[in-house]
Structures are given as structure tokens and as C-alpha cells.
Amino acid sequence: MVVKKPGYHPKGEAMTELYAGIDLHSSNNVIVINDKEGNQVYRKRLRL
């Protein structure tokens, strides 16, 4: 995943709103990134 500086917006490129969350448990963690419409664009389960 590439993270750019806040406010960085190249000319001619559409800006996308993304929302990230993490669910913490004792045996594993789940990281999810959704777009503005609620579609899941990334999901990763991290086992501890």
C-alpha cells in the first residue's frame, strides 16, 4: 500500500476517499480499507 502526504493531489488524477479500520483480538487482527461507497478494497488478517 502506498501512502502519500496529506493534501497531495496530482493534477488530472481523481481523488478517492478511503476509510480504514482494524479489529483487534487476542489471536488475530483484521485490517480493512473501504472506499467511499462502502466497497472493500483491501482486507488482511494478521495471525498472532
Per-residue pLDDT of the chain (48 residues; tens, 9 = 90+): 455 555 655 666 666 789 999 999 999 999 999 988 899 999 999 988
Q: Name the pTM for this structure.
A: 0.64
Q: Which pLDDT value is given to residue 36?
A: 87
Quote the distance between the C-alpha of residue 43 and its chain's center.
Answer: 8
Query: What's residue 42's pLDDT?
Result: 94
Q: What is the DSSP letter of 26?
A: S
Q: 48: which 3 cell numbers?
A: 498472532
Question: Would you mind telling me the total number of residues written for the chain in this entry?
Answer: 48
Widest CA span in the chain? 44
